[in-house]
Chain A
Amino acid sequence: MERTIYREIPASRPVIQLAVLLGGFIAAAAGAVLYIEHNGHIVTGMNNQIVWGLPHVFAIFLIVAASGALNVASIASVFGKTPYKPMARLSALLALSLLAGGLAVLVLDLGRPDRLIVAMTEYNFSSIFAWNIYLYTGFFAVVGVYLFLQMGRNTPYSIVRTAGTVAFLWRLALTTGTGSIFGWLVARSAYDAAIMAPLFIVMSFAFGLAVFILVVTGMCRLTGRPFGKSLLNRLGRLLGIFVALVLYFTGVQHLTNLYAAEHGGIEWFILRDGGIYTQLFWFGQVLIGGIIPLVLVFHPTGGVKPVSTILASVLVILGGLAQLYVIVIGGQAFPLDIFPGFQASSSFMDGQVNAYSPSYLELLLGLGGVALALALTGVGLKILRILPTNLSDGNVGQTP
């Protein structure tokens, strides 16, 4: 096992091509934002019933994945697992980039993004949203320091470990905050549940690791640096455990709601009668994002193949987007029960399932956030010594 050497990635042709592609997505998103800001949200699919739409699905996915992407660094620094250590820098950088991408989407979808300074200077401390602003900025600071210490020459392990522990605790708080944005909405039967916070934490484990696996293997392949087969397999099995946890918490969430008669309406809507939301739940979240990845990574013979882990990661991301679509939009589509025991109707869609068809502008904005996150990671890799030159099994101390 040789010493791990971190090197900037070279500006090779494929790297430049990737940068141009990401730049294209970012430019398209910028155009979409200007168009929405000029015309108002009327040009999006969002309305007074579905107030948070596709941009929020992407934004929350990126924010949740951001804290999850830090897992690899935490496992290395806090839990002292040696094979993860060479990837810890990338893990921290990816966490910062994903959070930046997610926040960009969230902020650019505001009705008045020009007033961001108001959000930065005026706080209402009874709002979990305001607390999240602290959690997000704090995350940048804590993970930034953590990354800096990791990259420092001869930083004692005890200091890196302390910084890593702070970052780990901070990311747990951050995801608790993100989950509580929904968990503390007392008015809506689809949310209003304490389980939202731990559910979001396990979601972040899964989504963040899936994104990390794709980025690290992708960058190694792009720059011709070896990545160990057993190491990938190990990451894949860890992903499998996280995916199983998501399924478990999802199961508990729905079983609890089914038991309470007052939540029966929303439960049967999501599980049986919700059309697109039901399909996304069963086929998107449970099958594509849950069962198939589990089979892929834990299959006795197929599971060891690198393609299984890569494919499982892709499916977990797709399933994750489906899950957030069901939570964010499905939860709003189901009508508020203002008059229990009555059938309500009005000009304001009372008592009706609310329709939502996202516009391509919202999709562009969301994809732009993803592209921004990846581009920031790329810039970091280009200018900083983040990515090791050799992540082969022998080199990282991973026994095959």
Chain B
Amino acid sequence: MNLPALKFSKTPRDMNRRDFLRSGAALATITLAPGVTLMSFGGEAAANADAGKRWGLLIDVNKCSQDCSACVSACSKENGWKLPENPETDAQWIRKVDLKDLLTGRESSLPMMCQHCEDAPCVDVCPTGASFKRKDGIVLVDKHACIGCRYCMMACPYKARSFIHEPLTDQKAHAPRGKGTVESCTLCVHKVDAGGTPACVEACNTTGNGAMMFGDLNDPESDIAKALLAYPSIALRADLGLNPGVRYSNL
């Protein structure tokens, strides 16, 4: 005997969801940025990747502590990759690296993720163009075009990319990922497109040590641009001239 499931009449799905999202986005614009309300009343919202922007991160290594991994767990939760059980083959979008200065013995710790290079080697080497850089500087993998050749993993100087070695189910709707393709940190592009902040930065500021800052490097008024102007910072493997969007201070 088959029990028919009850039909739902007034779930959120019944509402025209797209309209709901659009109105939500418009509302957010009104409250967050009063200056652009006129734009949001103008009807269709424009595409979100803005060529005038360059999203980036600034990580204060002094504030980051060795025993904290709030950013890693937040990323794992947000994007649906499990914390590594088999570190050789499991995907790691972000990882904590512990460092010891070989000369002085000073120890430090920092989070490593895709550095979102301006001249990204992964983008250069990808045969199909699946590895690409958005107009706003976020480096992504278009998994619809990724054939899983792993040349980008050979090319990345930061070990930022992971190959998915096993079949997956129950992915997050905003972070599709599947066997046989390559992936890496997306800078939480789904959140950024909605005006938000990457999960790692949020977690670092709430439960961590407030070592991470996110913002538009091109906007001189942004906190991150001001901090970069005021304090010394470095790009990892600066010798390669890749101009990464992730910078570290006090390393």
Contact = CB atoms under 8 A, between A and B. Distances in A.
Nearest to B91: A48
Contacts of A52: 150, 154
B236 A124 contact: no
B127 A112 contact: no
Contacts of A332: 154
A41 B167 CA distance: 10
A112 B156 contact: no
Interface residues of B, number: 54
A400 interface: no
B166 to A, nearest CB: 4
B180 A112 contact: yes
A130 B131 CA distance: 13
Contacts of A130: 127-128
A360 to B, nearest CB: 17
A345 B97 CA distance: 6
A129 B156 contact: no
Interface string A278-309: 00000000000000000000000000000000
Contacts, number: 171
Given A345-B97, A347-B84, A40 B167 contact: yes
Nearest to A328: B154
B99 A127 contact: no
Contacts of A41: 89, 163, 165, 180
A40 B86 CA distance: 15
Interface string B147-178: 11111011111110111111100000000000
A118 B128 contact: yes
A344 B179 CA distance: 29
A339 interface: yes
B201 interface: no
A359 B2 CA distance: 47
Contacts of A113: 147
Contacts of A49: 88, 159
Interface stretch (A24-32, A161-169, A180-188, A365-373): A180-188
Contacts of A122: 128-129, 145
Nearest to B84: A347
Contacts of B159: 49, 336, 338, 348, 350
Contacts of B95: 346-348, 350
B87 A348 contact: yes
B139 to A, nearest CB: 14
Interface residues on A, range: 35 or more
Interface in B64-97: 84, 87-92, 95-97
Contacts of B100: 342-343
A344 B108 CA distance: 10
A155 interface: no
B171 to A, nearest CB: 15
Interface string B132-150: 0000000000000111111
A126 B120 CA distance: 11
Residue among A113, A115, A127, A128 facing the most chain B CB atoms (10 A cut-off): A127
B237 interface: yes
A14 B124 CA distance: 50
B182 interface: yes
Nearest to A120: B128
B154 A338 contact: no
Contact of A112 (B125, B148, B151): B148
A341 B108 CA distance: 13
Contacts of B166: 39-40, 42
Contacts of A37: 180
Contacts of B96: 346-347
A119 interface: yes
Interface in B195-251: 236-237, 240
A214 interface: no
Contacts of B158: 336, 338
A71 to B, nearest CB: 28
A133 interface: yes
B21 interface: no
B112 interface: yes
A335 to B, nearest CB: 9
B15 interface: no
Interface in A182-231: 184-188
A48 B148 contact: no
A338 B91 CA distance: 19
Contacts of B121: 185-187
A122 B121 CA distance: 18
Interface in A245-263: none
A345 B66 CA distance: 11
B33 to A, nearest CB: 36
A17 interface: no
A344 B154 contact: no
B153 A48 contact: yes
A177 to B, nearest CB: 12
A123 interface: yes
A62 B250 CA distance: 49
Contacts of A188: 154, 157
29 contacts: A39-B167, A40-B167, A42-B89, A42-B166, A48-B163, A51-B153, A51-B163, A110-B148, A110-B180, A111-B181, A111-B182, A112-B147, A115-B146, A119-B127, A123-B128, A126-B123, A127-B151, A128-B125, A338-B236, A338-B237, A343-B102, A344-B99, A345-B97, A346-B112, A347-B92, A348-B84, A350-B95, A350-B112, A350-B159
Interface of B: 84, 87-92, 95-103, 112, 121, 123-130, 145-151, 153-159, 161-167, 179-182, 236-237, 240
Given A48-B89, A119-B147, A336-B158, 11 more contacts: A49-B88, A52-B154, A112-B146, A118-B130, A118-B147, A185-B121, A185-B155, A187-B121, A187-B154, A339-B236, A350-B97
